[in-house]
Structure 1
Amino acid sequence: MNYLFKYGSVLLLLALTIVACRKEPSYSDVPHIEFDRVEQYTYTKNRITFDSLVLVVDFQDGDGNLGLARVASGESDPDFLPPFDQSSPYFNNFFVNLQVKRDGQYVPYPLGQYLNLNGRFPRLSSDEKNEALEGEIKYTLTNFSDDIFDSNDTVRFEIFIYDRAQNKSNVVYTDDVVLFQGQ
């Protein structure tokens, strides 16, 4: 038993020393994103084929001020007051532009002005502490249907995000997605 206490305490002390020496990452306060993947789920309902797409981006942010509440907690919720009110360009924090491949080139989706894919992702830190964050954001797009898109259309998405200080991230593009092939 003394053997367990003697070497167990040494291992615990060693583990605490390693954890205490961990250096915090140093990232820019301007968010940086990288495309990770698209998860595609195809299903049929009432003889119409649908795609649900999950866009996954990895992020790094030096001050951790990413995300906005999706639902107001009251009239004075800061995530719904200027500059994040509904009439503001910063109301959303995840921006998606759809592009369709035509003759080998990507062009904006012809009805893009009627198809708003932008939205909000939630706060990634529960407090206002200024700390570096990294991880992934999964953003779901639903109801791409074959009554609007041609079967086998190849699309990609242009993506960027904003933090609460209105810093715009870099722009990334997804890999090609062939619609209605995710079965």
Structure 2
Amino acid sequence: MKYMLKYGTMLLVLALIASGCREEPNYSEIPHIEFDRVEQYTYTNNKIISDTLIIAIDFQDGDGNLGLNRVGLDGTQSGPDFEPPFNSGSLYFNNFFAKLQIKRGNTYVDSFVNFDGRFPRLSSSDSPETLEGEIRYTIDSFSSDAFPPGDTVRFEIFIYDRDLNKSNVVYTDDVVIYQGQGR
């Protein structure tokens, strides 16, 4: 028992020391994304069928400068996240780009509809830090008065960081409009 207590304590101390020496991952400063999943929720309101889609992507970023505030501290679109090049009307106003593609036969046709938007800052610090995690982006604009039920669609996805580095491009799985079961 005496040896078990002595060596058990030493092993615990060594395990704590080893876990404290874990190296941070070394990711590129250009964001990298991977498609994870699409969650689909279908509902009916006033005889109009609607879909809400939640696109989940995994990300890695070496300097952690992902995200733009949706409103400034004063509740308006003011502050550094709304000044050039992030001002309204600029290519970089949004940081999440979701281009809708409709499946026709075995090919995908780009739609005239994009579901671009902003996801919020993922770090409260402006200091460079390695980040990885998941971004969940909600699209709730699908209704049967705009898209025919049964269409198969997918999204072309990419993001920008605040240094205007564009991530790689990924594609979602196919989604059959208005067929969701609420996974």
Fold match (TM-score > 0.5): yes
Letter in 2 for 1:119: G
Corresponding position of 1:27: 27
Please give the residue correspondences for 1:89-128 in structure 2 after superposition, counting only pairs within 5 Å.
Answer: 89-109=91-111, 112=112, 115-128=113-126
Q: Give the C-alpha shift of residue 162 in structure 1.
A: 0.1
Provide Cα deviations, 1:111-154, integer angstroms capped at 9, x if missing partner: x1xx3411110111110121111111000000301111111100
Tell me: CA distance 1:70–1:4, structure 2 relative to 1, closer, same or farther (3 Å).
farther
Tell me by how many angstroms 1:158 deviates.
0.2
Find the aligned partners of 1:155 and 1:3 in 2 and give their Cα distance: 65
In structure 2, C-alpha distance between the alignment counterparts of 1:3 and 1:85, rounded to whole Å: 67
Q: State whether structure 2 residue 13 is matched by structure 1 residue 13.
A: yes
CA–CA separation in structure 1 for the residues paired with 2:9 and 2:80 = 48
CA RMSD of aligned residues (A): 2.0
Structure 1 runs (4+) greater than 3 angstroms displaced: 2-12
CA distance in structure 2 between the partners assigned to 1:67 and 1:20 by the alignment: 29
The equivalent of 2:65 in structure 1 is: 65
1:13 Cα deviation from its structure 2 partner:
1.8
**Deviation, structure 1 residue 103:** 2.2
> Are the equivalent residues in 1 in contact too, given 2:71–2:78 (CA < 8 A)?
no
Q: Which amino acid aligns with 2:127?
A: K
Determine the C-alpha separation between the residues in 1 that align with 2:103 and 2:78: 44
Give 1:73 shift.
1.5
CA distance in 1, matches of 2:11, 2:106: 59
Structure-1 residue corresponding to 2:171: 173
User: What is the CA–CA distance in structure 1 between the aligned matches of 2:42 and 2:24, rounded to whole Å?
Assistant: 41
Contact 2:152 2:177 in 1 (8 A): yes
Single out whichever of 35-44 and 125-134 deviates more from structure 2.
125-134
Worse-superposed segment, 3-12 or 163-172: 3-12
Which one-letter code corresponds to 2:118 in the other structure? R
Structure 1 vs Structure 2: percent identity of aligned residues? 64
Determine the structure 1 residue equivalent to 2:161. 163
SS of 1:14's partner is helix
Amino acid in the other structure paired with 1:39: E
Q: CA 1:14–1:71 in structure 2 vs 1: closer, same or farther (change >3 Å)?
A: same
Residue segments in structure 2 that go unaligned for 5+ positions in a row: none
Name the CA distance, whole Å, in 1 between partners of 2:165 and 2:96: 12
TM-superposed CA distance for 1:5, in Å, is 7.6
Stretch of structure 1 that moved more, 167-176 or 79-88: 79-88
Distance 1:141 1:5, change over 3 A: same
C-alpha distance in 2, partners of 1:10/1:56?
43
Aligned to 2:132: 134
